[in-house]
Structure 1
Amino acid sequence: MTTAPADVSLLADDVETDLRASVRKVLDKHCTPEALNGLYDGRDEVTGPLWSAFVELGLPGLLVPESLGGAGASAREAAAVLEESGRAAAPSPFLTSSVVATTVLTALGDTEILPALAAGEQTAALLVRPTALRHGPAARTTVGLPADVLLVPEGDALYAVRGARVTPVSSLDMTRPLAEVDLTGAERTLLAEDATAAVDAGLLMGAGLLASEQVGIARWALETTIAYLKERRQFGRVVGGFQALKHRLADLYAEVEQADAAARYAAATLALGDTDAPVAVAVAGSFCGEAAVHAAEEAVQLHGGIGMTWEHPAHLHLKRAKADALLLGSPEAHRAALAVLVDLEA
């Protein structure tokens, strides 16, 4: 059984606190529910301005080494950005480009693509091809698009691809859209003959920090629901005073706090390069995904009729929670991986 190393702290330091405040200020300005709802009507007035604001804060280069123009920060700072992004259901390539793709390229020792990513001049995405989503020999369905550079695994090798044809597809969560990519005729550059370890590192980092985004979703749902129930009156009483609802909220609070601890520990072990990171990520992935969905569902239900409407942002967070629970491994998949990591019998 693994235990937390003595030097792993779950408490936020001043840098993380200040970064979180700066990111929240930007998100409050750009990610209003009205603007996000426009994504479902084919109007995107959010992604471009928000990404420009992220660039001004230096967020695209957060995990890029300083020698390549980045901040040389750790997974803990990236986790803070993603938690705030989850609270706002923000549409951004930060996870796919600034976390997953950046981690892959850093592990490969890249010096050509990373400076452009750090400056926010380009974005990148790691392509995947789940069997259930494959529509043809050259088609792949992925997230994080559009992107300037696609990182495409072929066997053990990894290629940088530019000029691929991208076709948007329907997505439950339009704040994190899906696209189908056709690589036919695209420009390909070999990055490494054997990039298996680098790709695994990128996916591990992505899964670990996605848990922080899921905590942000869950915390928004909890806090918004509590605030609403303090004001909503029924039968002459404040609804939040009903004992049954108090119990539900207490249980939800405990669940969100547990998810927060799991996500923070995963980010801390990733930041330290600790050998316990795969276990911590599997725990966070298995718990935080379900916690986010549960919290968002409770927000919809406990808001009553208004929670079912398009105007209320609860639907944005529920869709984001549902999509995130499948993005880099379902909770069931993370539990299966955890069982192997800790030598549990089938």
Structure 2
Amino acid sequence: MSLSLTEEQEELRLLVRGFLDDKAVGHRPPPPGPGPEEYDPDIWRQLSAQLGLAGLVVPEKYGGTGLSPAELGIVLEELGRSLYPGPFFATVVLAVQTLTRSGDAAAMEHWLPGVASGELTATLASVEPDGSWAADALTTVAEPGRGGWTLSGTKTYVVDGCTADLLLVTARCADGVGVFALPPDSPGLTRTPLDALDLTRPLARIRLDGTPARRIGDGDASGWLAGVYDLVRAAVSAEQVGGAAECLDMAVAHATTREQFGRPIGSFQAIKHKCAELLVEVECARSAARFAGPAVATPGTEASIAAAVARSYCSQAFTHAAKENIQIHGGIGFTWEHRAHLYLRRAKSSELLFGTPREERARLTRLTRLTEAGGTRP
């Protein structure tokens, strides 16, 4: 598998980067308060309408472009580089992949055209209060009712959960795991913003108390949800690579212009070593993420292994790059006015949001042993 970008993929990367740089996304000073940064709806509309990014992986018959997870990873790398605070990840990664992998034609026809046009934002609420998103840890319950289903339970760390126009919720039901769709104004639904470390990614807690919902897909969804979760792991990894690469670029730029003792600090051996180590880590992380992107297009054990490797390595690479960036910047790197701390906040948040590196390594061990034994993905 070639990890180099094709000519079309490179054009896509440059298009997204040029747009984000032109709109100064990621170059503005951090928000003045402790709360999450609100995204600019005008920029989201332009991303959706002009660049067509909202419909990037939406099938063509539903108004999208129908590109693969590989192209999605390229876009996420650039969005991660700028810490874009809009609903792209929640809508295009979490919600669109859930809808398309469900195989529910009626649901896709109902919601995906609105997503592709940028008029509808959505998210997936799958994390339980204990922080787990494993199928066997579900405590949210779905019960059949008159004319539909009702949900009861709590979901937490829901990305863009307070602003999404559509909520997709995982819950346990009599025949296994189900995915359910509900609008934000549903009775018995309460959305509460969380105080999050990452100021560029709003999180919410969702409480459900007999909330009516529509089921997506047929039968036990745990099988195809595993493929969705692998794609989410690969997507987060690509985003982390973009953030780590930007930290490296920021550190190098500062090291070549900041002078001490009459010469740039980048000429000192200690700084050279830091930057060289970061370069190796960033390139290794990029290789892992770009391998995982095409791999997760086909669900299976190999895809799960590639996603676990990328998730584990990229998480630690981003956190290390963000920390070293602050160290190389010195005193200015520790100030609120400088954006270096925003990357460390995103790095630590994304490292924990969908499973820690330690959990991914444990999962990788199980998958490898299963493969050696000739089994299938758990």
Name which of 28, 47, 51 aligns with 1:54.
Answer: 47
Matched residue, 1:79:
73
Matches for 1:65-104 after TM superposition, within 5 Å: 65-104=59-98
Matched residue, 1:262:
288
Given that 1:30 and 1:49 are in contact with CA atoms closer than 8 Å, whether structure 2 keeps it comes out as no
Matched residue, 1:140:
155
CA separation of 1:173 and 1:190: change in aligned 2, threshold 3 A = same
- Offset of 1:19 from its aligned partner? 1.3
Given that 1:30 and 1:50 are in contact with CA atoms closer than 8 Å, whether structure 2 keeps it comes out as no
Letter in 1 for 2:94: V
- Fraction of identical pairs, as percent: 40
Given that 1:33 and 1:312 are in contact with CA atoms closer than 8 Å, whether structure 2 keeps it comes out as no
Matched residue, 2:148:
none
Q: Secondary structure at the match of 1:276?
A: helix
Distance 2:46 2:33 in 1: 19
CA separation of 1:312 and 1:203: change in aligned 2, threshold 3 A = same
User: CA deviation digits over 1:219-275, x for unaligned, max 9?
Assistant: 001111011101111111211111121112111111111111001100121245575
Aligned residues: 337
Distance 1:268 1:75 in 2: 6
Q: Secondary structure at the match of 1:111?
A: helix
Once structures 1 and 2 are overlaid, which stretch shifts more, 197-206 or 34-43?
34-43
Matched residue, 1:154:
171
Letter in 1 for 2:192: T
Name which of 215, 223, 228 aligns with 2:249.
Answer: 223
Q: Secondary structure at the match of 1:184?
A: strand
Distance 1:96 1:198 in 2: 18
CA separation of 1:274 and 1:17: change in aligned 2, threshold 3 A = farther
Given that 2:128 and 2:154 are in contact with CA atoms closer than 8 Å, whether structure 1 keeps it comes out as no
Matches for 1:1-346 after TM superposition, within 5 Å: 8-28=1-21, 29-34=23-28, 36-38=30-32, 40=34, 44=38, 46-56=39-49, 57-109=51-103, 110-132=108-130, 138-141=153-156, 142-145=158-161, 146-155=163-172, 156-162=177-183, 163=185, 164-184=189-209, 186-192=211-217, 193-271=219-297, 276-343=302-369
Given that 1:101 and 1:202 are in contact with CA atoms closer than 8 Å, whether structure 2 keeps it comes out as no
Given that 2:227 and 2:296 are in contact with CA atoms closer than 8 Å, whether structure 1 keeps it comes out as no
Distance 2:36 2:311 in 1: 31
Once structures 1 and 2 are overlaid, which stretch shifts more, 91-100 or 279-288?
91-100
* TM-score normalised by L of structure 1: 0.91
Given that 1:76 and 1:267 are in contact with CA atoms closer than 8 Å, whether structure 2 keeps it comes out as yes
Q: Which runs of 5+ in 1 are unaligned?
A: 1-7
Given that 1:283 and 1:335 are in contact with CA atoms closer than 8 Å, whether structure 2 keeps it comes out as yes
Given that 2:235 and 2:293 are in contact with CA atoms closer than 8 Å, whether structure 1 keeps it comes out as yes
Measured on the aligned residues, the alpha-carbon RMSD in Å equals 2.2
Structure with more strand by fraction: 2
User: CA deviation digits over 1:179-217, x for unaligned, max 9?
Assistant: 111223544111233222232222111111110110001
* TM-score normalised by L of structure 2: 0.84
CA separation of 1:94 and 1:42: change in aligned 2, threshold 3 A = closer
Distance 1:97 1:230 in 2: 39
Distance 2:346 2:302 in 1: 28
